[in-house]
Amino acid sequence: MESKQLKLHEQYLGNVVLGSGPAVLIYDTTLRDGNQSKLISWSVEDKLYIARRLAELGVDYIEGGYAGANPKDDDFFKQARNNNYRNARIAAFGSTCRPQHSKDPSGDGLIRKLLEAETPTVTIFGKSSVSHVKYALRTDRRTNLRMIKKSVAYLAKEGKEVIYDAEHFFRGFKENSHYALKTLEAALDGGADFIVLCDTNGWSTPFEVYKIVHHVKHELKGTGVELGIHTHNDRGLAQANTLAAVKAGARMVQGTMNGFGERVGNDDVLMAIANLYLQGYTFNENLNSRLQDLTSTSIEAYDRANLEPVTTKPFFGGTAFSHKGGGHVSAVNRNAGLYEGIEPETFGNERRIVMSDYGGRANIIYLLRHYGMPDDHPKINEMISTIKSRESVGYVYEGADASLELLIRRIMGEPVDVFTLNGLNVVTKRDSGGREENYAVLHLTVNDSRIRPSKAYGDGPVNAMDIALRKALRGRFPELDELVLDDYKVRAISNGTQGTASSVRVFIESQFRDRRFGTVGVGPNQNVAGWEALADSYTYGILLARKNKEVAISIPLPVMRP
């Protein structure tokens, strides 16, 4: 029976050999298009950091910004000249010359700014739509064609690799296909190295994109120019449109990390890399060898933007390979391919088994294996009943992997707790001006010995407890200096009848060295629940620090936020 088990990821992919097909160039525009999101404003330091990270990942092009648009972008280009971006080419973005300079673009300040950026590649956009020529440019069609041709030719003559972005191309093609193709011919006559077809308003469908790209590919056959694709996500079809375009013959993909961008965003270039790989396409040698870094790159981009990672994000999210229902987990234990299309590690993620009131024996068995414990332990039933009982009163372990592991180890009788709380006093005072003062006093037993009360002031009650606990333990566990409490969330939970007496749930996300983990506490108020989550964070940090003790790292992902 074992030999007949289905590997569904192989069945889905059919005869595709991963990463063995035609090469695709990856053009990242996070620093320009991504910066147009209302949620993001990159600093120069942010832009330099992201550019380095993209170069390490192995993308082919990094669009640095809009030349001459603002001091930050100009400063980036200036500093980028002195940086080594490996094989990635930095591109400056801009437009064709203006109508009044269509006969001689050298006099146009916008074109001069592109040259002043001193990048090896310049990307300029021009109008493909007759409506845009008439109403946005307020010029005639012939002048627009001259603007495109002359601008590309001038930049090429100055020694630049020129990428031409055909703005609103799909809309323009549907309005007047003959004129839209004429704009591409103008760029081609000017000497464009790449022609990128842009779905600028994000309103095309994959069927339209495939048909139009296929037609353009045929029309430009024999010219030697390669096509690219640039999509926006206004209909939620950006990724599908990118894949359709590549299937039709496009060989450059433009996009932003995590889909950052104007309105609802651009195509997610990291997801595009993953999907193209699964479709059999390949990339440059560096990127081919760094696919396992896609998850960490996605998370870093969120962090740099000061945004919460999307846990449900395909491939890279904390829940992308998580399994909760007992039936699912049982099947995954036998053959992960029954519920997963590809191994999570392919793109740097990992499988997660979630314990909840939907889980059962299979979930516990999986976790015990990951903790390095025997999966036939006689207390498995007690673990299941304890977890389900605790969840019935408000505990949630989906974002609290450390608390779950500690609970299981305690049930098994392991001596995981090196300190116990004998007494807790937290005082919060607020004066008439609204200023608040929080003071915590902890009475602890550490390694079976009572210690002097530890006292501290803090910005809030949990912060005061945190400082007091750190003071009490630092002398005995100096490695706790490396424990950082990154995030704190508190939520009221109610069974519908308690009203103001509802319980409180506290989540704490912590980091110890390169390990991130979550803990949870539940109690009648924030102080009690906060202490429980806080104590678990310190306990787990101490366990991780014990190098001579075998501690399983339970699926080391960035913690799944509740």
- Assign 9 a pLDDT band (cuts: 50, 70, 90): very low
Instruction: Please check the confidence at residue 11 and state whether its pLDDT lies above 50.
Output: no
Instruction: Please check the confidence at residue 118 and state whether its pLDDT lies above 70.
Output: yes
- Assign 412 a pLDDT band (cuts: 50, 70, 90): confident
Instruction: Please check the confidence at residue 128 and state whether its pLDDT lies above 80.
Output: yes
* Average pLDDT of the segment spanning 108-113: 95
Instruction: Please check the confidence at residue 322 and state whether its pLDDT lies above 90.
Output: no
79 or 358: whose pLDDT is higher? 79
In the chain, what percentage of residues exceed pLDDT 90? 59
- Sign, CA torsion 535/538/540/546: negative
Q: Where do the domains of the chain lie, and which CATH numbers do they carry?
A: 22-304 (3.20.20.70), 419-475 (3.30.160)
Per-residue pLDDT, 339: 62
* Average pLDDT of the segment spanning 396-405: 83
CB of 559 closer than 8 Å to CB of 354: no
Average pLDDT along the chain: 86
* Average pLDDT of the segment spanning 16-26: 77
pTM higher than 0.85: no
Cβ atoms within 10 Å of 20's Cβ, excluding its own: 10
* Average pLDDT of the segment spanning 244-263: 97
The pair of three-digit structure tokens given for residue 342, joined into one six-digit string: 């590809």
- Assign 546 a pLDDT band (cuts: 50, 70, 90): confident
Lowest pLDDT segment from 191-200, 440-449, 494-503, 513-522: 494-503
Instruction: Please check the confidence at residue 431 and state whether its pLDDT lies above 60.
Output: yes
Per-residue pLDDT, 212: 98
Residue ranges of alpha helices (H) inside 86-195 are 109-116, 130-132, 141-157, 169-175, 177-190
459 or 212: whose pLDDT is higher? 212
CA separation for the pair 223, 32 (Å, rounded): 30
H/E stretch holding 450: strand 449-450
Of the candidates 402, 394, 401, which has an alpha carbon nearest to the alpha carbon of residue 504?
Answer: 394
* Average pLDDT of the segment spanning 19-23: 76
Q: What is the pLDDT of residues 138-188, one digit of tens each?
A: 999 999 999 999 999 999 999 999 999 999 999 999 999 999 999 999 999
- Assign 475 a pLDDT band (cuts: 50, 70, 90): confident
Residues contacting 157, CB < 8 A, separation 6+: none
Of the candidates 139, 68, 69, which has an alpha carbon nearest to the alpha carbon of residue 103?
Answer: 139
φ, ψ at 90 (rounded to 5°): -80, 135
* Average pLDDT of the segment spanning 319-340: 58
